[in-house]
């Protein structure tokens, strides 16, 4: 294992584009003699950031972002759409590939360990929420992402000092209000912040010091303050320009109507909010929105035109589906039992339509490689 | 046997490998080559959620990306082991990218390419027992053990 020093760059506060451009630029500019680098940066303004393989028009309410002048950035790392503002701080690792674990899960494990260790002096017990989240009491408190960029391996993550749940709900592309509401409720349940855990947000300077010390311990290497080279500065500026240039594309996409299909958003590993349209026998489209955990139905909500039955009967189906596995046969069995028990056999919401909708949701919300159920929020079961 | 297993990693002997980039090449009868990622690559990446290949008709130089894959928030390129024009991509990857985990050498192929100069490019790759030995050295050096958490299709 190398004992070579890691360069620590404190980038202070940075605008939307620059806060993403720094690690991209450093990675693209990396040469064989470039030191491994950790960047600490705090965004100074809000923006939305989407993952490399995401379709921004499907994930983000681009029209709303455009209206309020919120930049949208598509990064080169993976993961999902996130709302970012000055209540978050970023740690960004730009390393030679051979100086990080080869396995992606182990690489994230190392990165998250440093994030977790920095919280211990604050009295917070944070753990890895497999495969790559940082959890406190089972709730996610940091998002991560990674990529091979140029000749570097990049791992990034943030601390949520505080979080604007309402803004996140606003920027989400939601096919109907019930989906946005379910998502907001899931966020409140499964996402936490350092303010929420401590009762106040930590001073960023204190967190920075703890994080830098934690990196040195975890990597077993000195972490020494430095800055970027003129060549790296050029690469960063190029990335800033590229991200700024993306905005014109989002303006075009904002005007395109989105097809009404299944929409699924991951809240944390194994926890999804997803919705699917169901065309009833009466030709009306209603929406089934599910919150799922570890492939089981946590909550089921209907929205759209009123069904041909009292709301209490639909609520009864929701209760019967609670904790049912998202398996087409199991769902069909439950739905048929509901038909018989509640005398709704002439309903437009036929069991097979329901089972089909859940099968479509299941496909769109793939299972987590690690069980989420082991990492329950405090007070949940 | 047509394959060997080193630390649970399958190495199919009739393929050509770019060991450092963890890609393989199969030479087809029609003059094209099929390209994919190795069992080692899928194990290092973990469960793959997205795979996006470059479009047919594109020319790619050796070492340039022919696709990107994403596993658990990590995005990485699949680098071409040969130069040529992409003539076909595996449409199944867009439907379920986990086929790359389950069957990296068969159903999980990524692209087919019409090579510019196959003979010259193959000379830089390893095959047969030499491939097994090259992988044995790499696997030991990197401390890799392959995992097949999505299940796997045993090589023929």
pLDDT of residue A50: 97
**Residue B106, domain CATH:** 2.40.50.100
Contact B45 A104 (CB under 8 A): yes
Contact B72 A131 (CB under 8 A): yes
Say what the alpha-carbon torsion angle B120, B125, B127, B130 is, to the nearest 10 degrees.
120
In a domain, B152, yes or no: no
Burial class (CB in 10 A: 0-12, 13-18, 19+), A10: middle
In a domain, B80, yes or no: yes
In a domain, B83, yes or no: yes
**Tokens coding B79:** 């680098």
What is the distance between the alpha carbons of residues A19 and A39, in angstroms, rounded to a whole number? 10
> Closest Cα of chain B to A378: distance in Å?
25
Contact B72 A104 (CB under 8 A): yes
Contact A147 B44 (CB under 8 A): no
The answer as to CATH 3.40.50.10310 being correct for domain A6-254 is no
pLDDT of residue A376: 38
Indicate the number of domains in chain B. Answer: 1
Domain housing B107: 3-142
> Closest Cα of chain A to B71: distance in Å?
8
CATH class of A263-364: alpha beta
The pLDDT tens digits of the residues spanning A15-27 come to: 999 999 999 999 9
Residue boundaries of the structural domains of chain A: 6-254, 263-364
pLDDT of residue A379: 43
What residues of chain A score a pLDDT lower than 50?
369-381
In a domain, B56, yes or no: yes
The pLDDT tens digits of the residues spanning B22-81 come to: 999 999 999 999 999 999 999 999 999 999 999 999 999 999 999 999 998 999 999 999
What is the distance between the alpha carbons of residues A208 and A217, in angstroms, rounded to a whole number? 14
Q: What is the mean pLDDT of residues B3-10?
A: 94
Contact A103 B43 (CB under 8 A): yes
Confidence (pTM): 0.90
- CB of B2 closer than 8 Å to CB of B132: no
Longest CA–CA span in chain B (Å) reads 39
User: Residues of A near B (CB-CB distance < 8 A)?
Assistant: 51-53, 76-79, 102-105, 107-108, 131-132, 144-148, 366, 369
- CB of B53 closer than 8 Å to CB of B90: yes
Q: Provide, as residue numbers in chain A, all residues whose Cβ is less than 8 Å from the Cβ of B9.
A: none
- CB of A130 closer than 8 Å to CB of A370: yes
């Amino acid at each position: 294992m190398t004992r070579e020093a890691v360069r620590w760059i404190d980038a202070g506060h940075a605008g939307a584009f620059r806060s993403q451009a720094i690690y991209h630029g450093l990675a693209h500019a990396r040469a064989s003699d470039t030191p491994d680098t950790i960047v600490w940066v705090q965004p100074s303004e809000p923006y939305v950031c989407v993952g490399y393989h995401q379709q921004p028009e499907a994930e983000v309410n681009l029209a709303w972002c455009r209206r309020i002048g919120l930049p949208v950035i598509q990064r080169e790392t993976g993961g999902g759409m996130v709302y970012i503002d000055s209540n978050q701080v970023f740690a960004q690792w730009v390393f030679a590939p051979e100086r990080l674990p080869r396995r992606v899960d182990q690489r994230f494990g190392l990165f998250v360990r440093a994030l977790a260790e920095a919280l211990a002096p604050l009295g917070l017990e944070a753990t890895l929420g497999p495969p790559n989240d940082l959890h406190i009491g089972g709730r996610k408190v940091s998002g991560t992402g990674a990529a091979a960029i140029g000749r570097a391996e990049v791992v990034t993550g943030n601390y949520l000092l505080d979080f604007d749940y309402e803004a996140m709900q606003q920027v989400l592309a939601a096919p109907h209000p019930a989906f946005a509401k379910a998502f907001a409720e899931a966020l409140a349940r499964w996402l936490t912040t350092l303010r929420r855990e401590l009762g106040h947000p930590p001073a960023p300077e204190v967190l920075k010091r703890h994080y830098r010390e934690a990196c040195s311990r975890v990597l077993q290497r000195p972490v020494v303050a430095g800055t970027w080279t003129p060549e790296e500065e050029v690469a960063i500026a190029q990335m800033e320009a590229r991200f700024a240039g993306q905005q014109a594309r989002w303006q075009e996409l904002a005007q395109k109507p989105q097809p009404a299909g299944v929409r699924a958003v991951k809240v944390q590993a194994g926890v999804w909010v997803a919705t699917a349209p169901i065309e009833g026998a009466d030709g009306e489209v209603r929406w089934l929105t599910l919150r799922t955990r570890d492939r089981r139905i946590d909550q089921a909500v209907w929205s759209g035109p009123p069904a041909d039955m009292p709301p209490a009967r639909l609520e009864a189906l929701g209760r019967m589906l609670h904790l049912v596995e998202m398996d087409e046969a199991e769902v069909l069995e439950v739905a048929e039992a509901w038909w018989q028990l509640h005398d709704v056999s002439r309903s437009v919401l036929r069991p097979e339509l329901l089972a089909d909708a859940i099968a479509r949701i299941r496909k769109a919300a793939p299972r987590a490689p690690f069980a989420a159920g082991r990492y329950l929020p405090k007070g949940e079961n | 046997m047509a394959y060997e297993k080193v630390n649970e990693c399958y190495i199919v002997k009739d393929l050509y490998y770019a060991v450092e980039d963890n890609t393989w090449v199969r030479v087809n009868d029609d003059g094209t080559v099929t390209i994919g990622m190795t069992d080692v690559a899928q194990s290092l990446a973990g469960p793959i959620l997205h795979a996006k290949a470059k479009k047919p008709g594109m020319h790619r130089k050796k070492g340039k990306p022919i696709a990107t894959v994403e596993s658990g928030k990590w995005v990485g390129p699949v680098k071409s082991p040969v130069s040529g024009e992409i003539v076909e991509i595996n449409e199944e990857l867009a439907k379920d990218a986990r086929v790359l985990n389950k069957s990296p050498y068969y159903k999980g192929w990524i692209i087919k390419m019409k090579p510019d100069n196959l003979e010259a490019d193959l000379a830089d790759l390893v095959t047969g027992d030499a491939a097994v030995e090259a992988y044995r050295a790499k696997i030991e050096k990197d401390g890799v053990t392959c995992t097949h958490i999505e299940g796997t299709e045993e090589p023929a």
